[in-house]
Amino acid sequence: MNIGFMDELVNKIKKLQGDSQSLDPDASTRGQLLGEVVKYTDRFLSEIDESPGYIAEDFSKNLENYKVGEKGENLEKLLALFEEYVEKPGINPASGGHLGYIPGGGLYTSAVGDFLAAVTNKYAGVYFGSPGAVRMEHMMVDWLIEILGFPKGAVGNLTSGGSIATLTAVTVARDAHSISGAGVSKAVIYHTSQVHHCLHKAIRIAGLGDAIHRNIQTDSEYKMPLDQLEEFIAEDRKKGLNPFLVVSTAGTTDSGVVDPLAGISDICKKYQLWHHVDAAYGGFFILVEGLKDYFKGIAECDSIAIDPHKGLFLPYGTGAVIIKDVDALLKSHHYQANYMRDAYTGKSVLSPADISPELTRHFRGLRMWLPLKLIGLDSFRKALEEKHLLALYFYEKIGEMGFETGGKPELSIVLYRYTQGIEPHRIDEFNTELIKACHRDGRVFLSSTTLKGRVWLRCAVLSFRTHLSTIDKALEMLSEALEEVKGLK
Ligand SMILES: Cc1ncc(COP(=O)(O)O)c(C=O)c1O
């Protein structure tokens, strides 16, 4: 061996180790970094009740001007950039003032779990890699299975959100019904116009773009009418088509209503269709005693999507899919590879990688387990009940203010629009102006939608930080916006 070459090699390696040492900060630097970040987040949280729900982006400012360079910069400067360019503009989803779309969460205890997950970097994709992390994730999924009333033996996976949960369920339904090739164009999928658009995305990605869709007209409460569903299925069968999937929603995004799940499951059983329930938004309201009845029959379906980053107030990045038929789930997702041979332990614990599209993945179980264990379920139930009652309060108050309202909120979304004294053909325009005025104000963030072709405003209550004072602020803002828009007319 060439000794000179080896010495040179070792010296070079040591120098590179020294030069890249900043990748692994020492205890005092770690303390400093964390101290600054905690100071930042404490400031952020101390202001959150007063922070606007929405700030429009200032297009004259550009984060891209601050390019990544060869040398590092100090954290204080980077936190200042983060504050100006990331924290401030747009919706403030950590604030209770987020009352648009489906509000987010951001539990602090979950962030602490993420910190632990990132520092320990446990490998949650494969049981062999981290039996504890995988068991913790299964424990969380089993808890979901239990609260949803699914039978023991069902399985599931923590996903990045509702869209991937839906994609997983659609893929499994496809394979369970052996739909492929020429069979796709004869396959029929049933849903209403109220289904979340992630279903359409999932269908296309799953190679079912050429399948037939039956977009069932909703009833007056924006729910799936059972008689029409059954008629469609029976007719399609007579035509020689292959009805295979019904997608219902337990908490629609627009109006927060729950489809008649039990009736849909009965029809699916009768005609042997896969019933998937999108409970991404509404599912956790099953924890509230007084709202349980809406979810009757959910345990009879074949798969469920439910989002802990919605109804369990976790930070973005945690959804879940639950599937009754383990073999079907494995059939769609299980693969082996020669470089994974050490990981095949033959143990009975399934690896997330075998039941999902992902291999390496974020250790999502910890961000869910830590808050549930630290805080206990009772506070979650109470917070969800509070959100429901706040929606009811908003519904009553906005009606008193002269707004037309959609139905009484089943879960926590209220539909409303202003029509008094407005010519019918100008109602949509008036309400569009009203929501724009609210966005300009930004004290809280509200959003709008169209239902059966008409513009409606929405108030969606789901943030754990939304309380009575937030709803009063929203009502005050709406009342001022109303005067402003009336003044423009
Ligand atoms: C009913 C419903 N399903 C699915 C989704 C999609 O979930 P995600 O945004 O987590 O992908 C949403 C999002 O708001 C939703 O409201």
pLDDT in tens, 374-433: 999 999 999 999 999 999 999 999 999 999 999 999 999 999 999 999 999 999 999 999
Q: Is pLDDT larger for residue 342 or for residue 59?
A: 59
Spacing, Cα 278 to ligand 1 middle (Å): 8
Q: Is 258 in the pocket of ligand 1 (CB under 6 A)?
A: no
Please enumerate in sequence order all residues whose Cβ is within 8 A of that of 327, keeping only pairs 6 or more positions apart, or say none. Answer: none
Spacing, Cα 307 to ligand 1 middle (Å): 8
pLDDT score of 2: 82
Nearest-CA residue for ligand 1 atom 8 is 162
Spacing, Cα 310 to ligand 1 middle (Å): 9
416 and 359 co-located in one domain: no
Q: For 486, list phi and psi in degrees, rounded to 5.
A: -60, -40
Cα distance between residue 160 and residue 144, in whole Å? 16
3-state secondary structure of 242: strand
Residue 268 has pLDDT above 80, yes or no: yes
Query: What's the mean pLDDT when you consider all of the chain?
Result: 95
Residue 337 has pLDDT above 80, yes or no: no
Handedness of CA 215, 217, 221, 222 (dihedral sign): positive
353 and 469 co-located in one domain: no
Q: Is 281 in the pocket of ligand 1 (CB under 6 A)?
A: yes
324 and 210 co-located in one domain: yes
- Reported as a single tens digit per residue, the pLDDT across 463-487 is 999 999 999 999 999 999 999 999 8
Rounded (10°) angle between helices 468-488 and 377-400: 30
465 and 370 co-located in one domain: no
Average pLDDT over residues 129-156: 96
312 and 444 co-located in one domain: no
306 and 417 co-located in one domain: no
For ligand 1, what atom is nearest to the CA of residue 101? 14
Any domain includes 246:
yes
292 and 168 co-located in one domain: yes
3-state secondary structure of 385: helix
Any domain includes 362:
yes
Distance separating the N- and C-terminal Cα atoms of the chain: 89
What H or E segment, with its residue span, contains residue 486?
Answer: helix 468-488
Q: Is 162 in the pocket of ligand 1 (CB under 6 A)?
A: yes
Cα distance between residue 277 and residue 268, in whole Å? 12
User: Residue 39's Cα: distance from chain center in Å?
Assistant: 29
Mutation test residue for ligand 1: of 170, 191, 200, 253, the one with most atoms within 8 Å of CB: 253
> Of 5-9, 51-55, 61-65, which one has max mean pLDDT?
5-9
Give the CATH number, domain containing residue 437.
3.90.1150.10
Q: How many CB atoms lie within 10 A of CB 422?
A: 17
pLDDT score of 195: 97
Give the CATH number, domain containing residue 215.
3.40.640.10
Query: Confidence band (pLDDT; 50, 70, 90) for 336?
Result: confident
pLDDT score of 60: 83
3-state secondary structure of 158: strand
Domain with 137 in it: 114-375
Helices (H), 126-275: 131-148, 162-176, 198-205, 226-238, 261-271
Q: Is 319 in the pocket of ligand 1 (CB under 6 A)?
A: yes
Task: Determine how β-strand 242-249 pairs with β-strand 454-460.
Answer: unpaired
Q: Is 278 in the pocket of ligand 1 (CB under 6 A)?
A: yes
Q: Is 259 in the pocket of ligand 1 (CB under 6 A)?
A: no
Please enumerate in sequence order all residues whose Cβ is within 8 A of that of 300, keeping only pairs 6 or more positions apart, or say none. Answer: 261, 262, 265, 266, 269, 275
Spacing, Cα 306 to ligand 1 middle (Å): 9
- Reported as a single tens digit per residue, the pLDDT across 78-99 is 999 999 999 999 999 999 999 9
447 and 345 co-located in one domain: no
Q: Is 102 in the pocket of ligand 1 (CB under 6 A)?
A: yes
% of the chain surpassing 70 pLDDT: 99
pLDDT score of 347: 60
Please enumerate in sequence order all residues whose Cβ is within 8 A of that of 428, keeping only pairs 6 or more positions apart, or say none. Answer: 454, 455
Mutation test residue for ligand 1: of 170, 191, 198, 261, the one with most atoms within 8 Å of CB: 198
Any domain includes 156:
yes
Rounded (10°) angle between helices 226-238 and 261-271: 20
Listed residues 343, 375, 407: the one ending a domain: 375
Mutation test residue for ligand 1: of 163, 193, 252, the one with most atoms within 8 Å of CB: 163
Nearest-CA residue for ligand 1 atom 7 is 162
258 and 195 co-located in one domain: yes
pLDDT score of 346: 65
Total of domains in the chain? 2
Q: Is 168 in the pocket of ligand 1 (CB under 6 A)?
A: no
**Are the C-beta atoms of 93 and 106 separated by less than 8 Å?**
yes
- Reported as a single tens digit per residue, the pLDDT across 283-334 is 999 999 999 999 999 999 999 999 999 999 999 999 999 999 999 999 999 8
Residue 117 has pLDDT above 80, yes or no: yes
Q: Is pLDDT larger for residue 488 or for residue 347?
A: 488
280 and 170 co-located in one domain: yes
Average pLDDT over residues 223-237: 98
Q: Spell out a b/e string for 232-253, using b for 16 or more CB atoms within 10 Å of the CB, else e.
A: bbeebeeeebbbbbbbbbbbbb
The residue behind tokens 């309202």 is 405
Distances (CA, A) of 140 to 53, 392, 438: 31, 31, 39
Spacing, Cα 112 to ligand 1 middle (Å): 25
287 and 417 co-located in one domain: no
- Reported as a single tens digit per residue, the pLDDT across 341-387 is 777 766 678 999 999 999 999 999 999 999 999 999 999 999 999 99
